């Protein structure tokens, strides 16, 4: 089955400020994905962008995220599922407060 990266972008807030219903929906997503006949290959939240390090063209190393945006890259799921349509349905399961979800097919090697 093909694999897709589901990239989560969200306004950065402390974990303790995430609403309980959003946290519960995140915790339940894995079971819902499995019930759809898909599989979570990897799931990983990220540290805040304030601790990111960026390497730019020419090898210049800077602190912080690469781009200035309202939303930060908050986490990633890699899922194995039937097709893009199913990956989109999985992306819709993820509760987004103020950001968005990006879905990208992985290159099969």
Residues in the chain predicted with pLDDT less than 50, given as ranges, are none
User: Is 83:46 a contact under the CB 8 Å cutoff?
Assistant: no
Enter the tokens of residue 86.
């199913």
Number of domains in the chain: 1
Q: ∠98-104-107 over CA atoms, to 5°?
A: 160
Q: Which domain holds residue 91?
A: 3-105
Enter the tokens of residue 16.
């303790």
Tens digit of pLDDT for each residue in 16-28? 888 999 889 888 9
CATH no. for residue 95?
3.30.70.1060
What residues does 60 pair with on adjacent strands?
Answer: 56
Reported for 21-24, long-range contacts at CB under 8 A and 24+ positions apart, including other chains, are 21/95, 22/95, 22/97
């Amino acid at each position: 089955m093909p694999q897709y990266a589901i990239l989560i972008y969200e306004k950065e807030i402390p974990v303790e400020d995430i609403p309980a219903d959003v946290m519960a929906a995140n915790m339940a997503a894995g079971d819902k994905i499995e019930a759809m006949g898909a599989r979570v290959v990897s799931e990983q939240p990220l540290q805040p962008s304030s601790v990111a390090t960026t390497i730019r063209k020419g090898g210049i190393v800077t602190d912080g995220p690469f781009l200035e945006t309202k939303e930060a890259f908050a986490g990633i799921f890699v899922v194995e599922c039937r097709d893009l349509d199913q990956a989109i349905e999985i992306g819709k399961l993820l509760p987004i407060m103020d950001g968005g979800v990006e879905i990208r097919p992985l290159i099969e090697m």
